[in-house]
Amino acid sequence: MSAALFEPFDLGGLRLPNRVVMPPMTRARAGDGEVPTRMMADYYAQRASAGLIVTEGIQVSPDGQGYAWTPGLHTQAQVAGWRAVTAAVHAAGGRIFAQLWHVGRLSHVSLQPGGAAPVAPSALVADGVQVFIDPDRLGAAAGAGQKVQHSAPRALGTDEVKGIVDAFARAAGNAMAAGFDGVELHAANGYLIHQFIDAGTNLRTDRYGGSLANRLRFLDEVARAVAAVAGPGRTGVRFSPLTTQQGTSDATPQSTYLAAARMMDGIGVAYLHIAQADWDDAPPMPAAFKEALRLVYSGAMIYAGHYDRARAEEAIGKGWADLVGFGRPFIANPDLPLRLRSGTALNGGDPSSYFGGGARGYIDYPPLAAGG
């Protein structure tokens, strides 16, 4: 088998020792005030042998939160918590980007400031799409959240949109102050930026809705504002053109995302990160689509979704991917690159401890050296 996955890569001037990415994964273990904890620093440091770590989604503002116990990047206490995380990862020899997240409508009134309705491009509900909340509001000790239908959102006024763009830019500044190597915009999986892009979730008639150019305007404004703060070479963008589970399903994904990719190329962002799977929702992505993305976008390409070593080597070998994300395998295998390289069997993960709870199923998966 080719070993391209273990060759170094230059990502916007950042040298990655291998092509194995830990993609963003919400683990819902932040402490009071949505502040990252020491345990989170341990978790990420254990996985520092990844070529690149992208953190779990981090809300850029209080109204950007959609699930219990997810961390933020909008208070000084949160910045201090993240500083300990980045220091631990760097001390262990790793590199880490922060995923900047606003959930838009996929939230619940119990998580919103003052119990307000979540904000969205349009006041539309995705029936059956659930978020998890803290049933007792007891804090992280409460363990697993309770899954509930997301709350009905209200549509953002045109003059409110700039405030959210500014929140993304502030969070990018906070990320760099906290020692992150860069930031990734979460424009995937049915959250706010995706809600603006998708014709089914954006029925606006102002300059942020209607034509494709208008539906891409919010993405453009956020990406420009964030790149101006973090530097385009330290900014990545995540899209999920084909997944449908979170209430977004583009009728013409190729033309939508080729236009979005071309726009990101104009800004000069360091990478595009394609989420081919959200969970088990993994529609096949035609090779022609991947090849077309390469033609319109000149930065690095990351793919994630049900990859194993053979598929990853194929994606790099065919020229579709530069880097490949392994999500669930990284939860259960802190030293995943070593295991992939040596062909060692992987630990299985325990989905019941993915979201919420303590150390169990979080920092207790054994590395190979411990006989795991």
Ligand X SMILES: Cc1cc2nc3c(=O)[nH]c(=O)nc-3n(C[C@H](O)[C@H](O)[C@H](O)COP(=O)(O)O)c2cc1C
Binding site for ligand X (CB under 6 A): 23-26, 56-57, 99, 186, 188-189, 238, 275, 277-278, 304-307, 326-328, 354
**Which three-class secondary structure state does DSSP give residue 272?**
strand
Within its chain, how far is the Cα of 284 from the centroid? Answer: 20
**In angstroms, what is the minimal distance from the CB of 253 to ligand X?**
16
Closer to ligand X by CB, 25 or 117: give it: 25
**In angstroms, what is the minimal distance from the CB of 11 to ligand X?**
18
DSSP 40-94: HHHHHHHTTTSSEEEEEEEESSGGG--STT--BSSSHHHHHHHHHHHHHHHHTT-
φ and ψ at residue 331, rounded to 5 degrees: -60, -45
Closer to ligand X by CB, 45 or 237: give it: 237
Element (H, E) at 324: strand 323-325
In this structure, are residues 157 and 177 in contact, taking their beta carbons and an 8 Å threshold? no
Q: Would you give the DSSP letter of residue 201? A: T
CA–CA gap between residue 158 and residue 165 (Å, rounded): 12
**In angstroms, what is the minimal distance from the CB of 295 to ligand X?**
24
Per the residue annotation, which of 67, 191, 208, 297 is the catalytic one?
191
**In angstroms, what is the minimal distance from the CB of 151 to ligand X?**
20
The structure tokens listed for 7 are 């060759």
Whether 191 is catalytic is yes
> Which residues are catalytic, by number?
191
